[in-house]
């Protein structure tokens, strides 16, 4: 069978089989094939991708190169360059928040490392190249300022709140506003008002992702969020033992009851690797969250082992630095990668219809 004719138009048509990770539509159809250059048996392609899918960029580049080599075996050289394709987010609901995805990180009980996982998701996405905001909705026990090592205070610009920026990530937390050691004693309406103000009045900018650290348990913050804006979904954090899984199941039921899809489950403190003998110890059991995720039809984002350096970094306010730790980093980076991959896979199965302006 003769090789397919090698023309610029043929290359463009072939590459439209590759779906844009954000929209699930062909990259040529959505104008993201920025440049195609042919020189005899060599082809160079410049592909524009949005920062929303930044963790998947290397894989998308490999997919494009592989498709071209398969479609046009006569090619001696395939060069794929990536560029940022700008596609601003639409505003969500009536709050004016501009974000492409809003993900709540919750748990059925406290003490399972929920806030740490929320921080690692946010900074894992940011490190990969996404535009990320981090909001601490746990107003009764905000941990985010401690985990990030910041005691700055948000400032006002007119009637807008300028969030604290830590390592390039805008962060908003009640912990920045209340003196350390002082308790917040609020009823539900006050809590709802604070969450509304954090979302509506904060200068988040244009975000790919807003990660929200939820209070533990099944309180009314989830209900407030479901009423305020369309959430992309929730991630539930738990530890492997059965007693923790019972609470995680309740958290999943709560999110589903308020029509928030559970887009991932994380098993924290899954095991411990001894630094002396290199043996694995399943202190709290292992694999319970993964089995429960399969049982409940929830994507499993990964496991995070017990790690002394992770605990020390949190206590010292250097939690994002764990992404530089060779022991912890592979597990932590997998969480953000798998979150993006799962949401992208859903969009590929059901790509959104293009919006049409009504004249």
| Segment 3-48, tens digit of pLDDT | 667 888 999 999 999 999 998 899 998 999 999 999 888 999 999 9
- Please report the pLDDT score of residue 228 as a whole number: 85
Locate 263 and state its tokens.
């887009």
- Please report the pLDDT score of residue 284 as a whole number: 64
Beta-carbon contacts of 352 under 8 Å, excluding residues fewer than 6 positions away, are: 23, 24
Residue, of 181 and 44, whose pLDDT is higher = 44
Confidence of residue 186 (pLDDT cuts 50, 70, 90): low
pTM: 0.90
Bridge-partner residues for 82, per DSSP? 47
Query: How far is the C-alpha of 319 from the C-alpha of 119, rounded, in Å?
Result: 7
CA nearest 117: which of 292, 225, 296, 268? 268
Pick the CATH number of 8-84 from 2.60.40.420, 3.40.50.410, 3.30.300.130, 3.30.559.10: 3.30.300.130
Torsion sign across C-alpha atoms 300, 115, 228, 167 = negative
Look over the chain and give the mean of its residue pLDDT values, rounded to a whole number: 86
Query: How far is the C-alpha of 329 from the C-alpha of 322, rounded, in Å?
Result: 6
- Please report the pLDDT score of residue 356 as a whole number: 43
| CA-to-CA dists, residue 187 to 44, 47, 193, 194, angstroms | 60, 51, 10, 11
Locate 205 and state its tokens.
């900018």
Please answer whether residues 100 and 208 qualify as being in contact, where contact means their C-beta atoms are separated by less than 8 angstroms.
yes
| CA-to-CA dists, residue 323 to 108, 110, 127, 281, 314, angstroms | 26, 24, 9, 23, 12
Please answer whether residues 71 and 107 qualify as being in contact, where contact means their C-beta atoms are separated by less than 8 angstroms.
no
Please answer whether residues 108 and 217 qualify as being in contact, where contact means their C-beta atoms are separated by less than 8 angstroms.
yes
> What b/e string do you get for 258-286 counting C-beta neighbours within 10 Å, with b at 16 or more?
bebebbbbbbbbbbbeeeeeeeeebebbb
**Fold match, 8-84 / 91-349:** no
**How is the chain split into domains, by residue range?**
8-84, 91-349
- Please report the pLDDT score of residue 134 as a whole number: 97
Q: What is the mean pLDDT of residues 313-328?
A: 89
Please give the class, per CATH, of domain 91-349.
Answer: alpha beta
Query: How far is the C-alpha of 212 from the C-alpha of 215, rounded, in Å?
Result: 10
Please answer whether residues 216 and 108 qualify as being in contact, where contact means their C-beta atoms are separated by less than 8 angstroms.
yes
- DSSP state, 168? T
**DSSP secondary structure letters along 8-53:** HHHHHHHHTTSBPTTT-SBTTTTT-EEEEEEETTEEEEEEEE-GGG
List own/partner pairs for 183-187 with CB under 8 A and 24 or more apart.
183/140, 184/139, 184/140, 186/139, 186/140
Locate 208 and state its tokens.
């790919």
Q: Are strands 262-273 and 132-136 parallel, antiparallel or unpaired?
A: unpaired
- Using one digit for the tens of pLDDT, what is the confidence trace for 69-83? 999 999 999 999 999
Q: Which of 52-56, 89-93, 241-245, 303-307 has the highest mean pLDDT?
A: 52-56
């Amino acid at each position: 069978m003769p090789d397919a004719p090698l023309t610029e138009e043929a290359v463009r048509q072939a590459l439209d089989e590759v779906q844009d990770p954000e929209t699930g539509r062909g990259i040529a159809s959505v104008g993201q094939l920025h440049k195609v250059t042919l020189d005899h048996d060599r082809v160079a392609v410049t592909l524009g991708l949005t920062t929303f899918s930044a963790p998947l960029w290397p894989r998308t580049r490999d997919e494009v190169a592989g498709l071209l080599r398969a479609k046009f075996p006569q090619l001696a050289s395939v060069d794929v360059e990536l560029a940022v394709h700008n596609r601003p987010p639409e505003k969500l609901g009536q709050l004016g928040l501009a974000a492409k995805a809003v993900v709540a990180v919750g748990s059925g009980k406290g003490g399972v490392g929920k806030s740490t996982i929320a921080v690692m998701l946010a900074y894992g996405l940011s490190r990969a190249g996404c535009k990320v905001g981090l909001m601490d909705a746990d107003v009764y026990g905000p941990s985010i300022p401690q985990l990030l090592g910041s005691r700055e205070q948000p400032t006002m610009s007119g009637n807008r709140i300028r969030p604290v920026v830590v390592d390039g990530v805008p962060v908003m937390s009640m912990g920045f506003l209340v003196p350390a050691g002082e308790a917040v004693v609020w009823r539900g309406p006050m809590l709802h008002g604070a969450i509304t103000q954090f979302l509506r009045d904060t200068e988040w900018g244009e975000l790919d992702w807003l990660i929200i650290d939820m209070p533990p348990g099944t309180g009314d913050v989830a209900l407030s969020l479901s009423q305020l804006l369309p959430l992309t979904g929730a991630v539930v954090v738990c530890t492997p033992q059965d007693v923790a899984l019972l609470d995680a199941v309740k958290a999943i039921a709560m999110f589903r009851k308020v029509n928030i899809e559970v887009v991932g489950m994380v098993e924290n403190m899954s095991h411990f690797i001894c630094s002396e003998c290199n043996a694995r110890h399943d202190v709290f059991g292992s694999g319970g969250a993964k089995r429960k995720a399969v049982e409940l039809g929830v994507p499993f984002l990964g496991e995070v082992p017990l790690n002394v350096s992770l605990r020390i970094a949190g206590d010292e306010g250097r939690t994002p630095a764990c992404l530089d730790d060779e022991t912890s980093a592979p597990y932590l980076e997998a969480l953000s990668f798998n979150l993006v991959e799962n949401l992208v896979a859903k969009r590929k199965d059901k790509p959104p219809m293009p919006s049409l302006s009504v004249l």
